[in-house]
Structure 1
């Protein structure tokens, strides 16, 4: 029998409490339903396969490079049963970026789908990793799990603080950091969300946010497992798929990034779509333009501005329906066990409506960064507050609003872009002497990157973009290149990005050359 300190086997509990409720539907397989009882048995087989075929032990990492599918979730929850750790790889990254992450976490196996098999095979071959096919017949293949028993394994010898996911984020220096999400943190996020957002067992969501982000794993997926709701698993975002899921398959709660909602509103089906069963929509990942959420309000849908970060759940706040229009754009009040505070640079709390850094505290926080004690120490203060690097205000009612970022990271289409990483790549180009990147507002993507470059030789914008694209994910590649004779510097000889931004605003003759 499990001890009091052993983490909960989520699906074992669900199989006892609601075995016949629908847990999953597969959008790529005719929305075929899977009950909690059936899912539990399938995950048990997956755990046996991982343990006996691949030798996965408590603390081992298993990397997954694949699009969303039910089998991806099987791997995640099977690792939870084993005490193993999921490393959810971002398939949008370049092979070089992926290699850096794999080398950092040192997984014992790499699981991939057919679409990404080529990149995964090279990563595995050069590192002597076991390569597992998620949806094919390459040996070993996940399909082999069908030969294993559907009975649960004994509980692993781990406690609630044991890592369950290492989810990589970027950093202000451009160096990726693996945020360690423990069993404790993922459970706390789920409990906070269920209690504060009012999730119900009859709720249904469309899981089209990628599982390589905490948003795909933890905004609604894990909380709905906790309460016994349903996730429709989709390989990615597609407007028609979203409208079908809402109108034909009973979606009641929906998470996405602003770019997705903009695409929905530009689609021909928007005007006639039936949103009568949609209880609420929550937007995260980037600032959402007010006309976007007002268009949902006009449809009678409670559209909310969310806020979160990998290191904190990610779910952090909630705004009640009756305050949507009195506090438009606010993220709301801290969730059930979340503490939040707006702080000055000296660590003292800001008075109401003053801008300061948002800091949060509670059991939903991550444990630290994988193999990065210095970054972990920098993230927390002596009192356990996580310093988010985001600027916020808190009004007299205790309602929070996000107003900007301390760091110069920007968000393009829901993806974090860290200028230092892009600048580092640009500096690799022989034609570039100096480079600086900033994010600017964009009506479609939320923000896009603009690169200011000082060149040693002439090179076309398309060639600069191609150089970056060979080394970076596409969303990180600057959309504009501005040529300067020299980058402006501060008194400390640092690049003056405020001056660069002012040049764009003022449209000086030199910046006009890059348009």
Structure 2
């Protein structure tokens, strides 16, 4: 346990630390256990070093292997790359064993990794490297067939950043690192090890990137303490046991898989299985190959899994987690019927707020709510224009607690608009609380459609649309209208084997379901595929722009 004073956190320009009084309170309550990320792994490695930690397409590691490899890699990062505490490294790696090794090596040095998603390109990578003043970039070489030249991507931005001193690639067996680059495999054979016992768990341990449908991502500093708090309570909420295997169906650098697969797995001393190609066939095959107990999927992936062929049994799944956008209730019911698995309907964000259903909740609670706050220290309010609303009414979710961040990195404008003077974070999400204490999420504040003075929440309409036998996915947006302000527009993907769908069919279906007339779509676009953001969410902004250009989504 770290014995330093509660306020003795690092002083990085642009980082907003937790206030000293809250640090003390979280420690005294036991919410913060003063464990670094690597200390979580070391606890398991010391007790059961042979227990399997990671399974990849080419490599498997025990907890003892993982601890040792990350110590050696930390030594190489220090001695060969010149990295020191509070330096930043940009990590752009797929789901692979090497990502975890590099992440833990940074943790041992007190180096702060910034997670860049594999789908990010030159604009996002350059922005993150510049914003965080990264000293090094670690990216994919030729070990995995990813269909993209990540070394070339880094080469395209490296000359623009004088502070970027080193580039590291994951080279394949028998391959050499590119000229002027370091090979991660060779670095892992470094003679000197770093334990990392002196790293302060109150300091930033990583930069997560904000999701979003427009603009460049914001950097979210997360301390070891606040994220380990999430790891512990995610594992506890899902009931993860040491003999379970958790399968990452989403990019591990994204907060969903990072918390609900990697973090929960490491906390419980379980096995984490990773696959670089996040496509339905290899992911389904991975779950069956490793007898997966848990997987995390966004709704569109969940549809693919449920529709997998007869060769995919998926019979070992105990818990399925989905979120990232509102999960249609029908998908949750299908999971219960088809796999008899518990469902964690997750409202979560990189900033830290987590509200989830538990696997043993009634199916209808899992299908129609996002359950309850994750941990005992979480503070939640639902407000409208600054006042808390009565239970049952809709308002904006505001949060604070031991697992919620304290400010965006070097972004005063965003912090000014997102936080109040008492440290409450305004999420921009519309929530309500049911009489039984569970919460419903209605969408983002900017998902609201104002039709002739009536407030309409788009995700609630989407939930009903995807129950139509012809509709696989739906995005509902506001379409500008001179007379009414906005009309309701719906863009839909059709289910396999469906050739067409008319607005009249949709209207008749919604009429049968009792949907109010003013909430029914007045414009319909049938599309081959809905546009998506970098993390696989439906890109509502793109749908709105295409409707404005004439319904050609």
User: Normalising to structure 1: TM-score of the pair?
Assistant: 0.77
SS at match of 1:200: coil
SS at match of 1:311: coil
Tell me the equivalent position of 1:393: 432
Question: Offset of 1:483 from its aligned partner?
Answer: 7.9
Q: Counterparts in 2 of 1:265-280, with a 5 A limit? A: 265-269=306-310, 273-280=312-319
SS at match of 1:268: coil
Match of 1:35 among 62, 66, 76: 62
Sort the Cα spacing of 1:208 and 1:252 in 2 relative to 1 into closer, same or farther, 3 A.
same
Q: Which moved more, 1:341-350 or 1:113-122?
A: 341-350
Quick check: 1:325 aligned with 2:367? Answer: no
Sort the Cα spacing of 1:161 and 1:172 in 2 relative to 1 into closer, same or farther, 3 A.
farther
| Mapped partners of 1:345, 1:301: distance in 2 | 37
Match of 2:305 among 235, 259, 264: 264
Tell me the equivalent position of 2:225: 184
Quick check: 1:148 aligned with 2:182? Answer: no
Tell me the equivalent position of 2:202: 161
Match of 1:211 among 234, 239, 252: 252
SS at match of 1:255: strand
Kindly report structure 1 stretches of 4+ aligned residues shifted beyond 6 Å.
409-412, 471-475
Tell me the equivalent position of 2:238: 197
SS at match of 1:384: coil
SS at match of 1:165: strand
Question: Offset of 1:133 from its aligned partner?
Answer: 1.3
Tell me the equivalent position of 1:119: 153
Tell me the equivalent position of 2:95: 68
Tell me the equivalent position of 1:110: 137
Match of 2:168 among 132, 137, 151: 132
| Mapped partners of 1:234, 1:290: distance in 2 | 28
Question: Offset of 1:187 from its aligned partner?
Answer: 0.8
Match of 2:407 among 359, 368, 371: 368
Match of 1:290 among 329, 334, 359: 329
CA contact (8 A) 2:218 2:409 kept: yes
What's the CA shift string for 1:239-297, capped at 9, x where partnerless? 2323323333121011110111112233323xx64343211101011112223222211
| Mapped partners of 2:535, 2:336: distance in 1 | 38
CA contact (8 A) 2:333 2:363 kept: no
| Mapped partners of 1:406, 1:372: distance in 2 | 21
SS at match of 1:47: helix
SS at match of 1:344: strand
SS at match of 2:263: helix
| Mapped partners of 1:311, 1:142: distance in 2 | 30
Q: Counterparts in 2 of 1:423-438, with a 5 A limit? A: none
Match of 2:123 among 92, 96, 113: 96
Tell me the equivalent position of 2:350: 310
Sort the Cα spacing of 1:319 and 1:169 in 2 relative to 1 into closer, same or farther, 3 A.
same
Question: Offset of 1:474 from its aligned partner?
Answer: 12
Unaligned runs of 5+ in 1: 420-435, 446-467, 485-509
Question: Offset of 1:373 from its aligned partner?
Answer: 2.8
Match of 1:235 among 265, 270, 276: 276
Unaligned runs of 5+ in 2: 6-33, 142-148, 449-457, 463-474, 478-485, 496-530
RMSD between superposed Cα atoms in Å:
3.3
Q: Counterparts in 2 of 1:480-491, with a 5 A limit? A: 482=546
